[in-house]
Amino acid sequence: MSLTNDYIKQRLVEKFGEALTSFEESFGILSFTAPAALNLKVMQFLYDEEELQFRFLTDLTAVHYPHQVDAELAVVYHLYNFREKVRLRFKVFVPVAAPKVFTATKLFESANWMERETYDFFGVEFIGHPNLKRILNVDEMTYFPLRKEFPLEDQTRIDKDDEMFGR
Amino acid sequence: MARPVSHNTKVKMVEIPKGYSGEGFFATSFDKVIGLARKNSIWPLPFATSCCGIEFMATAAAHYDLARFGSERMAFTPRQCDLLMVMGTIAKKMGPVLRQVYLQMAEPRWVIAVGACACSGGVFDTYSVLQGIDQVIPVDVYVPGCPPRPEAILDGFMRIQDLVGQESMRRRHSQRYQELMNEYGIQ
């Protein structure tokens, strides 16, 4: 039996009911939104169930939507079922003022690196992460460069003419 | 039969500095002699991080031949080198490394920033890239270009030679030099 998106959705709704929202399918990949408090439960369920078996964390990152009040930061999980070759994606939204999400490192070792990266660039605090500190940027950096309130250009330069560089 | 070898008859020698000569002696100032010796045997340390480094490889190879200037002896240890050639993008994380390399060089030392990235950050006007190496170490000569052609690197190198040849023996002990170093937090 091959695993279909409809079946995954049906199982998720049976288990979590109304908690999961915004089910959609793009490029053949099922995606939905979960409450931030349920992220581990959803992942554990997808991992443990004999028919679902999403046991590989392909990617973990964040997106900043500055205009969504109290849900500015979205943490995105990409999961993969190796046996059935099925992908799945879900997001949890947290306010930028208190971006706290439970860590997935207990479930997937690979989340360690990706959560550090997500913290480095977006400032998402992964509760329970064993070593949550900057990984790619310099340790002295005082901001989270991929949040939209920070201009991409380096702000230490004074010799560039703003008009010519489109600022 | 003519030999199948053509000899280079256009070998240029370094000019003798101004001075007094006579039967069995030649007198001139230390500045000139030491400057002459230094400028014709600069040992470069190539600090190459990206495409400018590839241009430098061409510069050092047979066609452009940096050896003509007495600099065929690249060393990859800063302690033996006179000239730090920074070629390529320096990320902010690389900044302290570059500074450490500079600090390990013995005086007198010179620095050449090759290419737009080393000079000013270049197109990488972004949070992760150092906007010019002169934010962490003093630079003597800037070579523009993205990347500069070997001719441009050689031109920058010859300007370094001019600086080296004309430098006063006392420059590195001067108040002004000390102030320059202090600006960078170097004692």
What is the ipTM, given to two decimal places? 0.74
Which residue in A138, A141, A157 is closest to B125 by CB distance?
Answer: A157
Confidence grade of residue A2 (pLDDT, cut at 50, 70, 90): confident
Mean pLDDT, all residues of chain B: 91
B132: closest CA among A160, A146, A120, A145?
Answer: A160
Please give the Cα distance from B97 to A50 (Å, whole number).
51
User: Is residue A90 within 8 Å of A42, Cβ to Cβ?
Assistant: yes
Band of residue B12 on the pLDDT scale cut at 50, 70, 90: confident
Q: Is the pLDDT of residue A1 over 70?
A: no
Whether residues A157 and B92 touch (CB distance < 8 A) is answered with: no
- Asked if B125 and A150 come within 8 Å (Cβ–Cβ), the reply is no
As a whole number of Å, the end-to-end CA separation of chain B is 66
Residues A115-141 have a mean pLDDT of 92
Tell me which of A51-60, A75-84, B9-18 is least confident.
Answer: B9-18
Note whether A158 contacts B: Cβ–Cβ < 8 A: no
Averaged pLDDT for residues B98-113: 94
Residue B136: predicted pLDDT = 92
Does residue A82 belong to the interface with chain B, where contact is any CB pair within 8 Å?
Answer: no
- Verify whether the Cβ–Cβ distance B127 to A141 is below 8 Å: yes
Nearest to B71 by CA among B127, B110, B129, B107: B110
**A132 or B10, which is more confident?**
A132
Mean local confidence (pLDDT), B90-94: 93
- A-chain residues within 8 Å CB-CB of B95? 138
